[in-house]
């Protein structure tokens, strides 16, 4: 909501909108000052930090704003509206990772609460994604087409429709 207000002001001033992409992951990291007395840097390192960085970059592919990893989803699921987005293979990891789009909270805070439209889209997309994951591809295609017709500005259904049209195997994750 705050970013939308900022962008409305920027557009009114003939300035370009400000876009953000966020990747969030949960895990153990080393955080602190690293280096020598001549060159010191406060940083975070660890596998979970690398995955968060990769998630941030994947937002470009999916045209999303906030992506989270499986461990974060486990921590947030009861307080946030999430939708599964894909199973991806990221550089530096041998295993694939299931990713989720964070939509908003379930709280009554108007600044962070998911709208009824966002909740509906999350429900429809989750259903289509689960159908796709179960490899009921004809039904998944119909569901993604329906989502695209109802929510034309939401890009992920198009990605799945392209996969389905190309005949790519269902679990061919994009690489970041």
Strands 40-45 and 30-35: antiparallel
Q: Is the dihedral of CA 146, 78, 63, 58 positive or negative?
A: negative
Residue-level pLDDT at 75: 87
Residue-level pLDDT at 148: 96
pLDDT tens column, 137-170: 999 999 999 999 999 999 999 999 999 988 776 6
DSSP, residue by residue, 75-138: HHTTTEEEEEEEEEB-TT-SS-EEEEEEEEESSS-TTTBPPHHHHHHHHHHHHHHHHHHTT-HH
pLDDT tens column, 126-143: 999 999 999 999 999 999
Instruction: Return d(Cα 149, Cα 19) in angstroms, integer.
Output: 25
pLDDT tens column, 43-62: 788 788 888 889 999 999 99
Instruction: Return d(Cα 173, Cα 88) in angstroms, integer.
Output: 5
Query: Which tokens is 84 given?
Result: 């599964």
For residues 73 and 82, the answer to whether their CB atoms sit within 8 Å is yes
Task: Compute CA distances 126 → 105, 109, 143, 144, whole Å.
Answer: 17, 24, 10, 10
The C-alpha angle 97, 115, 131, rounded to 5 degrees, equals 40
Strands 66-69 and 22-24: parallel
Instruction: Return d(Cα 169, Cα 123) in angstroms, integer.
Output: 24
């Amino acid at each position: 909501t705050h970013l939308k207000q900022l962008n409305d002001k920027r557009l009114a001033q003939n300035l370009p909108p400000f876009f953000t992409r966020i990747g969030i992951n949960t895990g153990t990291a080393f955080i602190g000052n690293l280096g020598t007395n001549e060159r010191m840097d406060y940083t975070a390192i660890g596998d979970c930090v690398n995955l968060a960085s990769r998630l941030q970059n994947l937002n470009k592919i999916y045209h999303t704003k906030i992506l989270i990893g499986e461990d974060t989803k486990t921590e947030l699921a009861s307080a946030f509206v999430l939708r599964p987005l894909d199973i991806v293979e990221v550089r530096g990891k041998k295993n694939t990772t299931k990713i989720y789009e964070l939509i908003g909270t379930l709280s009554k805070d108007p600044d962070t609460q998911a709208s009824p439209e966002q909740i509906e889209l999350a429900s429809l997309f989750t259903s289509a994604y689960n159908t796709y994951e179960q490899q009921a591809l004809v039904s998944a295609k119909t569901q993604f087409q329906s989502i695209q017709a109802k929510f034309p500005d939401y890009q992920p259904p198009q990605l799945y429709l392209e996969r389905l049209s190309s005949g790519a195997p269902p679990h061919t994750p994009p690489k970041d």
